[in-house]
Structure 1
Amino acid sequence: MITLTHFNNRSFLLNPFLIEQVESLPDTTITLTNGKKLIVKESPEEVGRIMAAFLKKISLISGLAAEEGVHRCSKAEQ
């Protein structure tokens, strides 16, 4: 989940896999895959950076888990 901010300054969590597009109309408008639209305080570039950081984070976690599994298998063979 990523953290974004409504215009009333309240933070909320959003599943980034539901985002279809992010536009500046002029306010940042996020269209979800179900057609719902959200207006947030972050710029489209900020939303992109937040999403990229999230995707890197989940890749790192799954990569470490896989690497740890390989390491355990190597030790089992010894």
Structure 2
Amino acid sequence: MIAVTRLNGSTIFVNALLIEVIEETPDTLLTLTTGKKFMVREKATDVISSMQTYLQAIGVNAATIKSVQSEGP
């Protein structure tokens, strides 16, 4: 889960694995795979950075790297 701030200032936690699209319109709009949409104060680059940190924390990058290395030439 990543923390983001709604336009009204409240913090919500979003499952980073469900984020399908991030748009800046100029506010940042998160669209989840469920179809739900959230307008947030953070810039798209900040949301992406939070997602990357979360994915690293749960070991997604390590699993991806390991799987690519095991395929090898």
- Normalised to the residue count of structure 1, the TM-score between the two structures is 0.72
Shift of 1:32: 0.8
Shift of 1:2: 0.7
- How many residues end up aligned between the 2 structures? 62
Among the aligned pairs, what percent are the same residue?
39
Deviation per residue, 1:18-49 (Å, 9 max, x gap)? 11110101110001112221100000000000
Larger Rg: 1
Unaligned runs of 5+ in 2: 64-73
SS in structure 2 at match of 1:49? helix
Kindly report structure 1 stretches of 4+ aligned residues shifted beyond 3 Å.
Answer: none
Q: Which residue matches 2:35?
A: 35
**What is the identity, as a one-letter code, of the residue corresponding to 1:23?**
E
Q: Which residue matches 1:53?
A: 53
Give the structure with the higher percent helix. 1
The CA RMSD over aligned residues, in Å, is 1.8
SS in structure 2 at match of 1:4? strand
Deviation per residue, 1:43-72 (Å, 9 max, x gap)? 000000000000111118x88xxxxxxxxx
Unaligned runs of 5+ in 1: 64-78
